[in-house]
Amino acid sequence: MNDPLVIAGRELRSRLITGTGKYSSPEAMRDAVVASGCELVTVAVGRIDLDSVEEAITDHLPEGVTLLPNTAGSATAEEAVRIARLARAGGLPDWIKLEVIPDPRWLLPDPVETLKAAAQLVGEGFTVLPYVLPDPVLQRKLEAVGCAAVMPLASPIGSGSGLKLRHTIEIMVEQAEVPVVVDAGLGAPSHAAEAMELGADAVLVNTAIARADDPAAMARAFRLGVEAGRTARLAGLIEERETAEPSSPLGGLAARP
């Protein structure tokens, strides 16, 4: 219903991307993905356990959604590149959510290794969407090496804390040459709406939906929140003002001079 988002020449009607992690069941995941209306869903790549081969998560996804593989589990550029190559060779899309995360406590990305892997993967023909701390200078470097979008985190993964780093995300949006997708830490639809209102092009949500009491309903709520925020951005939000301004005439029944 909104204006389409274009990443690497591809038009996306939905500005909400969802993850597939942390659901209580594959069915809950599928229902939430459907309710979210998203076209892109992220997946990780992991070793198959030969002793207990479960169904593939991909068997549970609705028709028409596109997989966005990530490089979760990579602490270095080399590991991330290895996962990206394996995913593509095995038939997954050549879009990659690049995450290089050395720190298991805060799950924050490594700017140097991420930039190195991004340059390598772009050179190999991948469409690269790097997960980054909101860093406007790093953003410029990632744009310069040819990334298709940048994915700054709002707050640590899974924290649900919202736009704790709003200030640097605003700067990124102001100077963006490729889409800015706010990723990680969005805990409520109001956070997603806020991100869209300040000019983000899209958001990625996982924990807040997967861990809700009713994931499908929460997915719908985020869809509405993203659409609300985008619509408001385009409709021209009012400026915040220090003082009050009446919405009703102050005269009431008194005679007006």
Partner 1 sequence: MTVTVNGRAQEAAPGETVETLLERLGLAARYALVERNGEPVERERYGATALEDGDTLVVARPVAGG
Where along the sequence are the contacts to partner 1 (CB under 8 A)? 19-23, 29, 42-50, 53, 56-58, 67, 69-70, 72, 82, 85-92, 157, 184, 204, 206-207, 246-249, 253, 255
Residue with token string 């298709």: 148
Q: Which of 93, 136, 146, 199 binds a copy of itself (CB under 8 A)?
A: 136
Record the tokens describing residue 234, joined without a space: 């385009």
Q: At closest approach, how far in Å is the CB of 251 from partner 1?
A: 9
Among the listed residues 97, 116, 141, 164, the single catalytic one is 97
Q: Binder to a copy of itself among 65, 118, 157, 176 (CB under 8 A)?
A: 157
CA distances 211 to 28, 35, 154, 227, Å, are 10, 15, 18, 22
Q: Is 97 a catalytic residue?
A: yes
Residues 46-85 that bind a copy of itself (CB under 8 A): 46-47, 49, 70-74, 79, 82-83
Q: What whole-number distance in Å separates Cα of residue 192 and Cα of residue 120?
A: 31
Backbone angles phi, psi at 16, to 5 degrees: -115, 125
The Cα–Cα gap between 67 and 73 comes to: 18
Specify the length of the chain in residues: 257
Query: Does the protein bind a copy of itself through residue 158 (CB under 8 A)?
Result: yes
In angstroms, the Cα distances linking 252 to 247, 249, 255, 256 are 12, 7, 8, 9
Distance CA 116, CA 128 (A): 12
Q: Tell the smallest beta-carbon distance from residue 144 to partner 1 (Å).
A: 27
Q: Could you tell which of partner 1, a copy of itself, none binds residue 104, using a CB distance below 5 to 8 A set by kind? A: a copy of itself
Which one, 10 or 161, has the nearer CB to a copy of itself? Answer: 161
Rounded distance, CA 233 to CA 198, Å?
7
Question: Of 64, 89, 248, 257, which lies in the binding site for a copy of itself, with binding defined by CB under 8 A?
Answer: 248
Over its C-alpha atoms, the chain yields an Rg (Å, rounded) of 20
Of a copy of itself, partner 1, none, which one sits near residue 52, judging by CB under 5 to 8 A according to partner kind? none
232 binds, among partner 1, a copy of itself, none (CB under 5 to 8 A by kind): a copy of itself
| Residue 21 within binding range of a copy of itself, rule CB under 8 A | yes
Q: How many CB atoms lie within 10 A of CB 200?
A: 28
Q: Based on CB atoms, which residue is closest to a copy of itself, 143 or 214?
A: 214
